[in-house]
Structure 1
Amino acid sequence: MIIKIFNLFIEQLYLYVIKNLLVETAIVTNILHCVLSTKLINNSLKGTQNKVKITVNQSNLQKALQHLSKATPTRSTIPILNSILMVAKNKTLTLRATDLEITIITDIPSTVDVDGAVALPHKTLTEITGALPDIELEISADDNNRVKIKAGQGDYDIPGVSAEEFPQLPEVDNKKEVILKEKTLGELITKTSFALSTDELKPALMGALFEFGEESITAVATDGHRLSVCKRSDYEFKGYTGDIIVPRKFLQLLNQYLGSGEKDEVVLWVGDNHITVSVSGVTIFSRIIDERYPDYHSVLPLDNDKIASFDRKKLLSVVKRVAIFSNRATKQIALHLSKGESSITTEDPESSSSAREEIEVDYDGENMILGYNASYLGNMLTHIDSDRVILKLKTPISAGLILPVEQAENEEITMLLMPMRTSS
């Protein structure tokens, strides 16, 4: 009980430093690491014997280590985070890795001769496993955490670490169940995450807002220059309604495991502070971002009455070609609109280069020249499925909406792009 209260205190200290001091995440993480290193982290394994003896297939272990590498930091001020936890219990071998933000767990087939737990250096274990052929490996640890690996004619000895020093598993309190098709969740992530912010001084925008309703689920991402909203109605309502901000790293990692099948389902468990999911043989835990998300509804314009319709693929191709000649820093291009005519131009005095290309458009409004970041515009066009897109505009200096002419079944996409000031 005391340790749990202390853990909560540390978590609140971490959040306080971020919110009130506005220091870089790297500095905050170092502060947290220093405090964490002074306490017994893994109370759940206290008393578990270090002795362990298992037999596992090289191929299965190598695949598991590849999964765990996604949660193993390349550099850390806490040495234990460079290790993976191996727990042999009840004839099951469980491997775990964490960077304190993301935790990954996976079980692999094995023969457990002696129950126990030990932490092993991830890099060394990965390298020796990858250098071995597809054979059975015998891994054992003694009371002093010395780990021996016997493979064929080879014997390898490496220092391990007591399992009690490994960070404990996040507790998902008051968890609520959300069931989604893997394809649906993948679409929500893919069609919004490209717009996530990388600004550490805006932590709320470094995650996607997920709104769980009775009839739909909505994902939202923005970096202040662009906004993407994806709403899906094809999910099973299980009684949970609410909003959470899910970190970029968790979304990107989860999306790697999601399939595109119409029938495959995935279950999300949403807690007060964490979110977890089990998919493709791995379980992923992540902390929820405890911040207030901006009211994105208030920035969606309702009076953009000038509409330009384009062939999406043709527009994307022109944007990519013209962008080659744009300024490398600003990536600015200009969209020229007039009745029945359109062109995209760019000019970069620094490199003495320019480009202009005409493109067909369905437009009968007043003449306008709009400046856009070519990368932002291209990303949006890439993540729309419709053959044609429309730009709903008001003035050259106000936010424009980018919408598919035909929305996909069970889906509603809305994208917003802020313009850049042009010299014209």
Structure 2
Amino acid sequence: MKFTVELKPFADAVSNAVLALPPKATDFKFESILLTLEKKKLSLFTTDGDISFATSLTTESGDKGTVLLNARRLHDILRSLPDSKAEFETKKKDAEGEVNFMIDTGRGKYKISGSSERQERTEKKLDFDLSFSLSSKEFKDIANKTLFAVSLDSMRPAMMGVLLELEAQQLRAVSTDGHRLSRYTQPIETGAKEKLKVIVPSRVFSIVQKSLGDEDTVEISIATKEARIQFKFGETALTASLIAENYPNYEAVIPLENDKKMIVNRASLASTVKRVARFSSRGDVRLQLEADTVRVSAENADEGASAEETVPCNFKENLLIGFNAKFLEDALAHLDTEEALFEFSTPTRAAIVKPIHQGKPLDTHLILVMPVRLNV
């Protein structure tokens, strides 16, 4: 087969398709990209067995054919070439099924090996029982506000995903790693006739987030019987397995009686925590809350290092509490407002962090952070 295409959109499409492949694979089909040319449309397909990624772009060719290539090798080559039009062509080798994939940019010629043997896309037809749409911004907001708190522990597979709770007029996304939790709620018309809960692998969310254009609309379809989910946007469709596990009862760990409330400038506290944490031997920081002041401190006794800064806040009591500095930084980084509201109870109970606008807490986003035990 032979076709001509602009390099940048082709390289971008391959870059997105590569995201669906596993870091390491023992099966060639799980490290390959299938290119199919027909009726001036070049289709790209990759899969890792659980996730399938398909996209397409228009070419200047009436030719047709297929070729199977090492995806990351193709990606690296395309990314190294200057932006221009290029001609691509497959030429048979002596060995049956093997081909050379030729690239001609006008300034240079390049060749890699591939296979012309027909590889069928093993995608089953799905019976979707719910479909709804999100703008690119809506989807990216959900991803940004949940992925940071997803667990990396493979022994707890349910927590390695984002829980979606779908109601007719509302979508709620939840993530937790056992030490922190993020819950984000959006008023979305999902069309759900009854409450539906599904767990989407965090990797799937990340792939869609990276592949979405700013002006795209993503259609999300769920097939509960097959435990599959599909994301369609532009010329792209990503289909993936849902996590078939029971999500922890996260509502049981959200405290309802945290009556000590602090309002603080989000950016000021975040930058202070980041600086002070450099002096901590364990990666934690102390927050000494007093009247209208929070004193952030850390120390490394082994090196004789310490740091302390004060940040003005609105708080009327005394409280000493410690946090993992990264968890506290992440919580502050994923709020959208100028000020943050902290709700405390005791030094050993979870703190709640919320965005606050014009003195009013916004219930759309709630972040829970567990404290750490301090050596007083």
Q: Give the TM-score category using the shorter length.
A: 0.7 to 0.9
Name the structure 1 match of 2:300: 348
Counterparts of 1:228-267 in structure 2, within 5 Å, are: 228-233=182-187, 235-239=188-192, 241-259=195-213, 265-267=217-219
Report the Cα distance in structure 1 between the residues aligned to 2:135 and 2:363, rounded to whole angstroms: 13
TM-score, scaled to structure 2: 0.88
Give distance in 1, aligned partners of 2:9 and 2:140. Answer: 26
Shift in Å, 1:173: 3.2
- 1:117 and 2:71 aligned: no
Compared CA separation, residues 157 and 206, structure 1 to 2 (3 A): same
Corresponding residue for residue 95 of structure 1: 44
Moved over 6 A (4+): 407-411
Aligned residues: 367
Match of 1:412 among 343, 352, 364: 364
**1:308 & 1:126 partners in 2: Cα distance?**
49
Verify the 8 A CA contact 1:148 1:155 in the aligned structure 2.
Answer: no
Matches within 5 A, 1:380-395: 380-395=331-346
Alignment of 1:147 onto 2:97: no
Question: Counterparts of 2:201 and 2:304 in 1: how far apart (Å)?
Answer: 41
Q: 1:186-335 maps to which residues of 2 (within 5 A)?
A: 186-233=140-187, 235-239=188-192, 241-259=195-213, 265-272=217-224, 273-327=227-281, 330-335=282-287
Amino acid of the structure 1 residue aligned with 2:64: D
- Match of residue 369, structure 1, among 320, 328, 331: 320
Could you tell me how far apart the structure 2 residues matched to 1:409 and 1:117 are? 56
Q: 5+ residue gaps in structure 1?
A: 1-51
Residue 87 of structure 2 corresponds to which residue in structure 1?
A: 137
| Cα distance, 1:411–1:184 mapped onto 2, change above 3 Å | farther
Letter in 2 for 1:420: V
Relative to its length, the structure with more strand (as a share) is 2
Cα 1:84–1:398, aligned 2, differ >3 Å: closer, same or farther?
same
- The 8 Å contact of residues 97 and 117 in structure 2, kept in 1 or not, is answered as no
* Structure 2 residue 355 is matched with structure 1 residue 399: no
Deviations 1:147-169 (A, max 9, x none): 34262597765442355556623
Counterpart of 1:387, as a letter, is E
Give secondary structure in 1 for the equivalent of 2:271: helix
Q: CA deviation at 1:176?
A: 2.1
Distance 1:120 1:259, change over 3 A: closer
1:259 is displaced (CA, Å) by 5.0
Once the two structures are superposed, residues 165-217 of structure 1 have per-residue CA deviations (whole angstroms, 9 ceiling, x without a partner) of 56623543335211112211111111111111111111111111011111211
Q: CA deviation at 1:256?
A: 2.0
Deviates more, 1:121-130 or 1:174-183: 121-130
CA contact (8 A) 1:172 1:275 kept: no
CA deviations over 1:222-281 (Å, ceiling 9, x no partner): 100001101011x233345411111111111212234556xx532111123222212354
Q: Is there any run of 5+ residues in structure 2 with no aligned partner, and where? A: none
TM-score after normalising by structure 1:
0.78
**Shift of the alpha carbon at 1:55?**
4.1
Matching residue's letter, 1:192: T
1:57 CA displacement: 4.0
| Matching residue's letter, 1:242 | L
Moved more, 391-400 or 353-362: 353-362
Following TM superposition, by how much is the alpha carbon of 1:322 offset from its aligned partner in structure 2, in angstroms? 0.9
Query: In the aligned structure 2, how far is the partner of 1:361 from the partner of 1:409?
Result: 16
Structure 1 CA distance for aligned equivalents of residues 132 and 43 of structure 2? 25
Q: Which has the higher helix share?
A: 1
Q: Name the CA distance, whole Å, in 1 between partners of 2:362 and 2:255.
A: 23
Identical columns (%): 29
Distance 1:74 1:161 in 2: 22
- Secondary structure at the aligned position of 1:422 is classed as coil
Aligned with 1:405: secondary structure? strand
CA shift in 2, pair 1:399/1:59, >3 Å: closer
Distance 2:293 2:85 in 1: 67
